[in-house]
Amino acid sequence: MVRIVIFWLKYPMQKSKLKYSIFILTFFFCVKMMNAQDVLTLRDAFKVASQSKAQSQKFLELAEDAYSEDKSAVKQGYLGVALAVSASFSKNIFTKIGDFNKGKKMIDQAIEVDGKNIELRLIRLGIQANAPKIAGYYRNIDEDKDFIKKNLSKVNDQNLKQFIQGFIDDTDVF
């Protein structure tokens, strides 16, 4: 009788542990999927952000929302890019310089955290290649180009690989 009671007491705990484990795995899977969707949305917005002030503003809002939910280096980098791009549409010279400097600082900090991230290198390259020389933000162009060329074949994420290849094909930087 004691064995039955002990088994009965253990079994519900094991069952609840299994439910808890399944819940945790499902939760992390959903978070990972939402994170991946955020990055895809940011990539799409990045492609068109420089076309108009409205597109730039939309990109900035998406990047701010994504970064507020997840303070990852990639999302910090995209927020930095969004600030730098939106600065180009500002009429006020002080706002323009301030936002650009804040954006480039965020990009560089993200790369300090995750320097081997090819996506961060690509978005920094995109900003540096298009920034006016007077901004003084061009020192990593060759370094980032070399890094991207050497590491593109190692990228497993097909969406990221297509994003990078599209950038290479659409720009005269390479």
Distance between CA atoms of residues 120 and 118, nearest Å: 5
Distance between CA atoms of residues 13 and 6, nearest Å: 11
**Residue 113 has what DSSP assignment?**
H
On the CB side of 147, how many CA atoms lie within 13 Å of its CA? 17
Answer yes or no: are the C-beta atoms of 106 and 80 closer than 8 Å: yes
Sign of torsion, CA 148 149 154 159? positive
Q: Residue 29 CB: number of other CB atoms within 10 A?
A: 10
Provide the residue range defining the domain that includes 165: 2-170
In 49-92, which ranges are continuous DSSP H helix? 53-69, 73-87
* 3 state DSSP class of 43: helix
What's the pLDDT tens digit per position in 21-69? 444 444 444 444 445 568 999 999 999 999 999 999 999 999 999 999 9
- Average pLDDT over every residue of 63-85: 97
Q: Name every residue whose Cβ is closer than 8 Å to that of residue 1 and which is 6 or more positions away in sequence.
A: none
For the question of whether the overall pTM of this predicted structure is more than 0.85, the answer is no
Answer yes or no: are the C-beta atoms of 128 and 134 closer than 8 Å: no
Domain count, the chain: 1
Domain at 143, CATH number: 1.25.40
What's the pLDDT tens digit per position in 114-162? 999 999 999 999 999 999 999 999 999 999 999 999 999 999 999 999 9
